[in-house]
Structure 1
């Protein structure tokens, strides 16, 4: 049995009938597939704030940096009270040890990006984040977030889930505040970071190398900020192929010329987007097991999340 990871989620995505029209937005991928690995902490800002179901729909009015939450027909402004509720709710969520949050897209309360902003006369002019979604990201800047729309983009979904599992591992070492644990975390995630951002891979390596010259609190803070920033960059086929070639160097004296040529051809076919990442990864994991290469066995790059999620099966 695997340990379920705590994940915040907009209640309507679990099938709860809490939307303004009395309906839900049940997402079967979330409940049936992700639900095997995550323990849900549902939140519906509008209901928990005190609005009824059904209710008059809301929209955001003003500018992205300071939106107002206003009912469409009657023009009632719920901004200040919603922000007061959000502050209290965020304090409660601090106790949940969340490792991620899936928000309802386009929601004026829960959306995190691309939510329509209207002028006072009702004309859509800009896009931004919902009241609660925006407040959550400011309060928990390190926690991975996504909305249900982007969750169904294979590349964005893989990146999000990868970040969730990384954040869970970070929470565990953060409790000890041990430099040895930090070094181990860094070592185990080296190739994963290289696939996301070679620049952050380099700068984090330098930071860890200077660990004894940096205050421990400053070290941990700077490390996770840089690590989170790097992991939010997408691992492209080109960057992944570079990591795969780097890994293949560990086998150059162990496998035959034909096997080496086969591996290089598979990596190139992946780089050209002819085959999914799982193909070269499977062959590489075979060689890692066969030749018992300890450094590669500890790399989360080869096992960043449960294989059953099939996140590396897309082209």
Structure 2
């Protein structure tokens, strides 16, 4: 059984069950608290509580001018929120991801209603001008850590988006462990070798770019090498793997394994991959077959590929069609 790292995730406190919502309640998310909690370390954050608003509190609105105010506009909390961001965000180092509360004027990542700021031509009937807003706190976090895997609780109910986010988080945790240690160029080469097919499944161009970066690992300044690899690795895995790219990665696993298998076992694997490609079988089926045979045939390069084992198996995230 693989030993996976424990990612360190920031999270909106209400999603873990803390009674910090505007109405004094919470928004506990059972996937986070009942399943993911077994494998991660949480860093709870509620920016509205941290600027002293308390719970319950007045409903907040985003304005088109980028400010965050009470619904009746008797209080403007923009400066307090930005001051918290300046003081708090630099301390959120060593994170591997962030889960934010959707539809929150402080924490929502997008699609939030924005209300008129009094600009000429804006509607004055109290209805939203548009739904192009991003939470003030969430925007500051994204500006500070653009490659940090971040998702909203609402989007994590989609099994495809959930699987992608969790995969990125565990990959980020492995990368953090590498660079937090006394790594040498050979350690980066070994790390990249284990992640090749995982990167390929997400972004073939990133697969080629990370390969070029690692090829110069012994000749470049360590800080520059780390920065370039972090960027290319993060950007590559940020692209969601589609069915066609997964099929390509699966065939890349089968290729070097094929000569060690008899015709019947090759046929079973090819049939499983084709069934997945047609949308009839979940990804977990061909992955399980390939991993079983890679381990059984003692093909260490393939058996160690993170693509075949990207996160703890009990999360069961590759079983959807």
In the aligned structure 2, how far is the partner of 1:259 from the partner of 1:138?
49
In the aligned structure 1, how far is the partner of 2:241 from the partner of 2:317?
13
Task: Give the equivalent residue in structure 2 for 1:255.
Answer: 261
Q: What is the root-mean-square deviation in Å for CA atoms of aligned residues?
A: 1.6
Q: Is the 8 A contact 2:5 2:173 kept in 1?
A: no
**How much does 1:117 deviate?**
2.0
Task: Give the equivalent residue in structure 1 for 2:286.
Answer: 280
**How much does 1:259 deviate?**
2.1
Q: Is the 8 A contact 1:13 1:24 kept in 2?
A: yes
**How much does 1:114 deviate?**
1.9
Q: Is the 8 A contact 1:119 1:125 kept in 2?
A: no
Task: Give the equivalent residue in structure 1 for 2:114.
Answer: 117
Question: Cα deviation per residue 1:225-276 (whole Å; 9 max; x = unaligned)?
Answer: 1111110111111101111111111222222223222211110110111010
Question: Cα deviation per residue 1:190-226 (whole Å; 9 max; x = unaligned)?
Answer: 0000000111101111121123443221111111111
In the aligned structure 2, how far is the partner of 1:299 from the partner of 1:2?
13
Task: Give the equivalent residue in structure 1 for 2:304.
Answer: 298
Task: Give the equivalent residue in structure 2 for 1:173.
Answer: 178
- Equivalent residue for 2:141, pick from 136, 139, 152: 136
**How much does 1:113 deviate?**
2.1
Distance 1:227 1:2, change over 3 A: closer
Task: Give the equivalent residue in structure 1 for 2:243.
Answer: 237
**How much does 1:6 deviate?**
2.0
**How much does 1:91 deviate?**
2.8
| Matched residue SS, 1:211 | coil
Q: Is the 8 A contact 2:62 2:68 kept in 1?
A: yes
**How much does 1:74 deviate?**
3.1
- 1:55-74 to structure 2, matched below 5 A, reads 55-62=57-64, 67-74=66-73
Q: Is the 8 A contact 2:197 2:252 kept in 1?
A: no
Task: Give the equivalent residue in structure 1 for 2:121.
Answer: none
Q: Is the 8 A contact 2:62 2:133 kept in 1?
A: no
User: Please, which moves more after superposition, 84-93 or 221-230?
Assistant: 84-93
Task: Give the equivalent residue in structure 1 for 2:313.
Answer: 307
* Count of residue pairs brought into register by the alignment: 310
In the aligned structure 2, how far is the partner of 1:178 from the partner of 1:77?
50
Greater RCO (Cα-Cα under 8 Å, separation 6 or more): 2
Question: Cα deviation per residue 1:130-155 (whole Å; 9 max; x = unaligned)?
Answer: 11111111112232111101111111
Structure 2: stretches of 5+ with no match in the other structure = 118-123
Distance 1:244 1:86, change over 3 A: same
In the aligned structure 2, how far is the partner of 1:47 from the partner of 1:251?
55
Distance 1:157 1:89, change over 3 A: same
In the aligned structure 1, how far is the partner of 2:267 from the partner of 2:131?
52
Structure 1: stretches of 5+ with no match in the other structure = none
Task: Give the equivalent residue in structure 1 for 2:87.
Answer: 88
Structure 1 segments, 4+ long, off by >4 Å, are: none
Instruction: Compute the TM-score of the two structures, normalised by the length of structure 2.
Output: 0.92
Question: Cα deviation per residue 1:168-191 (whole Å; 9 max; x = unaligned)?
Answer: 111111122421121111111000
User: Please, which moves more after superposition, 251-260 or 293-302?
Assistant: 251-260
Q: Is the 8 A contact 2:194 2:304 kept in 1?
A: yes
- 1:181-196 to structure 2, matched below 5 A, reads 181-196=187-202
